[in-house]
Each structure stands twice: as C-alpha cells, then as structure tokens.
Structure 1
Amino acid sequence: MTTARRAAPAGVEQVVARMRALGASLPPGDGVAVFNRVYLSVTEELVRRLAAGAFGDPPAAAELGGRFAGRYLRAVEGGLDGRAVPACWRPLLLLRGHPGVRPVQFALAGINAHVGHDLALSVVDTCVALACEPASLEADFDRVGELLTAVEERVREELMPGPDLLDLADPLTHLAGSWSLERARDAAWAASRVLWSLRGLPEVYEEFTEKLDAGAGLVGRFLLTPLGR
C-alpha cells in the first residue's frame, strides 16, 4: 500500500528558504557557509521525510524541526549583522574566515553548537507550544537524531582529507575523533528533561541555560583550533 504524502508545514519550508538565502549570500569557503550547507541538507531531508509520513507525530516533528532550525538562523543572522549571539555560536562566527581552520572543523563546530545548546531548548519550546511532555517527543527526537548522525558521517567522509594525507598522528584526526554526535545528542535529551523540570524556577532555569551555552562554546573553541593547511 502506498503511503499518502503530506505537505511539510510552512514553518519548515520557511527555514529551508532562509538557509538557501543565507548560503547564497556567503562565499563558499566561509565557515558559516560550510555548516549551512550541511544543515540545509539535514532540513531538506527532514522535509522529505515529513512528506513521506516517516515520523510518528508529523506535526510535532515539524514543530521541533522548525524551532530547532530557527534558533540557528536567529543566532547566525544576528551575528552576521553585528548583534550579540549565544556563546555556543561565537567561535564559528569569529573564526569563520580563518585560513588555518579546515572545512570539517567548521561543520563539526556548527553541529556542536546546534546540538549542544539549541536542541535541548528547542525540545522545551516545542513542549510549551504543543502543551505536551518531553517524553511524547522522544521517538521523533530519536528519528531526527538518526538523520543528523547520517549527515555527520557524510561530513566526515566528504570533508576529511584522503587516507594518503591522514594518519593517527595528524592533529585533525585527533580533533575530529574527539567529539561524538551520539554523546552530544544523549546529553541534549538529558538537558531538555532537566530544563523542563526547572521551568517553574526561572532563576535556576536561566543559570542552567547559561552553563549549557558556555559549555557548548568551550567545545566549539576546541574544535576550531587552527591547524594550518
């Protein structure tokens, strides 16, 4: 039996359009442009899977995907306009033109900022908007995470140097191998549950959010260590 195709919600389509416009406005080698290409492919695949009915609760998955992408776009568009941005995005915006940072580093630093900070907050935003508990989003959270993992694997394959240039002593091998998307996803889910439990304690909630942001920013600075050409 053929699965009925559903149109993706307008919110997801809108963030795809904004990502395409952002990419067109930046030089291809710009660090933000590198990550934007990666994330655009994730969001386009999300649109396809939403249309194919691949999620248990498509409206909730679309809400999460749209809010997740929206946090990235607000941060980066604001940073490019000279406005203050979350700490997690500052390293990428600061070093996006550095000649000693490799493309795979830009991509991983963007994924780290987005998953390490934005994802947990997006789960909470979605739960508030839909008046639901995080547990009701867990299955589709995992499906979105699987999509991110597949793209991360492709990033490593496409942006890492070939085997003739890469060995265990290469600093890039060590750097790229020191960060795990799977662990970052697990931490984001745990953080979302903590944040949800703290929503009635504004001061503690804000403090936890700031620490989450600072921690992701610290990891981002590490991932963007200039290594030369």
Structure 2
Amino acid sequence: MTQAIWGPVQQQMSGLLKEHPDDVPGVVDQLTKLQDVLCQVPPLLHSNPLADFNQLYLTITENVLERLYAGKFKDPAFLSRLDVEFAARYFDALRYWTDGSPACPGVWAGLFGRIPGPDARPLPSAVAGVNAHINFDLPFALVTTFDHLGTDPIDGSDQHHDYLQVNDIFNDEIPGLRRGYLDRWQLLIDTMNGDLDDWWQGEMVEYTRNVAWRNAQKIWSIRHDMIALDKHRRRLDDTATGLGKLLLSPFAGFLQ
C-alpha cells in the first residue's frame, strides 16, 4: 500500500515522518517540507488532495507563528504547545497510514485514500482536511495541551481567549485561500457573490472550533475513564468520517 501511495518519494516521506517537531517553527518547517513531497506524489502531483489541505494548514500555522513573534497572545506557552500537539496528530495519522496501521483514524484514512486518485476538487479536499483536523484532532490536542501545562479548559480564561483569536486568523486568510482553489469562471461567480461565501465559511470555522472546545471539555472530564474515552473517540471519528465522505463526494461540488 505504501509504495502505491508515495511511489518515487517513499523514502523522502518516510524520512520526513521520523521527525517530531517540538516547537511552532519546527511545525512550519515540517509542513513546508511535506508540501514539497506531496506535490511529487504520482499520479496527481500538484492536484494531490492532501496537498490542498496541507497548503491551507501551512498558511494558518505561519500566521500563528507571526502572532507569537509579535506577542499578540496572552498565554504564548499555551498556544505554542497546542500548535505542536495539534500538528502531532496530523503527522501521526500520516505515519499510521504509511505503515498500514489500523490505528489511522477513519476520518484521515478517507482523505488519504484519495491520494492515488480519482482527482478531487481542491476546495472540498482542503475542507475535508479541515474537518478531520478540527472535528477529530483538535479536541484531543487541547486535552493533551492542558494536561501538559497542568491547567483546565475554562471558558473566559487567557487560554480560551487565545484559542478564539485563531478564529481571526481564519477570517483573515479564508478569502485569499479559498480563491486560490478556484478557476477563472469560478472566480467570476465568486465576485458576483460578494462577501457571502467568505462570510459563511468563516462562520462555519468559528462554529466548528467552538464545538471542538466543548468536546475537549467533555473529554477532559472523562480523561481517566478509558472506556468512556475510547467510546467518545470512536464517536467523534465516526461523525467526522461521515462528514468527510460527504465533502469528498460529488454532492460537495457546491463548495467549489
């Protein structure tokens, strides 16, 4: 399976996935290298659906890093650790898929399975990756972060404030990112729609990230109950997997 997926860049991918970034600059560096490798994977090359998501993720993470350098977060230690834990779940899913491990979450497997084709539209592919990363990965990354820092996920805290500030990054970046996935005729229609598409997609990101925060609070309350924790993990994966299938289906063409 691995050779069919990564082909001539199998060795590069395997070497890259051995790295475990421990800070935000390291995450940006690994995402940058990954983007280069993904665009060399046959047969889709630059049309690789995972590359569509990875580019979006890289752009958002670069913006987070800029804000960290500028001192715009109240608790930079929290945001930095969350960024590392968040990325680790994405890289882990890629390792599991590369190794043919059943530990690969179903929601990620659905997107990874499109790497050999058939070709998928860029915007739905990117949104499917966002679905996997926010609806499934983010709640657990939050829990791991709070556990590492010895704090609790409390509404209105400095950590919550910084978490919500990332919504502003999405709002700033979504218009340019989304238009980058459109062809000439789609751009014309997009112009006719004005700011409507940007607005509703920004609203969806904010809503989804709020749900992820609530799920993190729930997971935090049951984190020592392994049976309940596994049940909740499977439920989140199943829900996100179903949504991912819809996003990668012909019915999601309206996104493009």
Q: Which moved more, 1:195-204 or 1:119-128?
A: 195-204
Aligned residue-pair number? 214
Q: Please give the residue correspondences for 1:129-140 in structure 2 after superposition, counting only pairs within 5 Å.
A: 129-135=148-154, 136=157, 137-140=159-162
Q: Which moved more, 1:26-35 or 1:123-132?
A: 26-35
**Matched residues in 1 for 2:238 and 2:164: separation?**
25
Question: CA-to-partner distance for each residue in 1:97-142, whole Å, 9 max, x for gaps?
Answer: 4345200011100011101011111110000000000114211110
Question: CA-to-partner distance for each residue in 1:31-71, whole Å, 9 max, x for gaps?
Answer: 11111111011111111110000101111110111111111
Tell me which stretches of 4 or more aligned residues in structure 1 moved more than 4 Å: 163-166
1:154 offset after TM fit, Å? 3.0
| Equivalent residue for 1:66, pick from 84, 88, 97 | 84
**Matched residues in 2 for 1:151 and 1:51: separation?**
18
The change in CA–CA distance for 1:20 and 1:81 in structure 2 (over 3 A counts) is: farther
Which residue in the other structure is 2:234 paired with? 210
User: Residue 134 of structure 1 aligns to which amino acid in structure 2?
Assistant: P
User: Residue 13 of structure 1 aligns to which amino acid in structure 2?
Assistant: P
Q: Relative to total residues, which structure has the larger helix share, 1 or 2?
A: 2
1:208 offset after TM fit, Å? 0.6
1:21 offset after TM fit, Å? 1.5
**Matched residues in 2 for 1:218 and 1:152: separation?**
24
Which residue in the other structure is 2:73 paired with? 55
**Matched residues in 1 for 2:204 and 2:116: separation?**
25
The change in CA–CA distance for 1:92 and 1:152 in structure 2 (over 3 A counts) is: farther
Q: TM-score of the superposition, structure 1-length normalised? A: 0.83
SS in 2 for 1:204: helix
User: Residue 93 of structure 1 aligns to which amino acid in structure 2?
Assistant: F
| Equivalent residue for 2:142, pick from 120, 123, 127 | 123
Which residue in the other structure is 2:6 paired with? none
Question: CA-to-partner distance for each residue in 1:75-104, whole Å, 9 max, x for gaps?
Answer: 124324433311121111011343452000
- The answer to whether structure 1 residue 43 and structure 2 residue 61 are counterparts is yes
Specify which structure has the bigger relative contact order, considering alpha-carbon pairs within 8 angstroms and separated by 6 or more residues: 1
SS in 2 for 1:134: coil
Which residue in the other structure is 1:112 paired with? 131
RMSD: 2.6
The change in CA–CA distance for 1:87 and 1:149 in structure 2 (over 3 A counts) is: farther
Which residue in the other structure is 1:221 paired with? 245
**Matched residues in 1 for 2:146 and 2:98: separation?**
30
Q: Which moved more, 1:202-211 or 1:139-148?
A: 139-148
| Equivalent residue for 2:221, pick from 197, 208, 215 | 197
1:165 offset after TM fit, Å? 6.2
SS in 2 for 1:205: helix
Aligned-residue identity in percent: 31
Q: TM-score of the superposition, structure 2-length normalised? A: 0.75
The unaligned stretches of length 5 or more in structure 1 are 1-8, 167-172
Q: Is the 8 Å Cα contact of residues 31 and 95 (structure 1) preserved in structure 2?
A: yes
Which residue in the other structure is 2:23 paired with? 11
User: Residue 205 of structure 1 aligns to which amino acid in structure 2?
Assistant: L
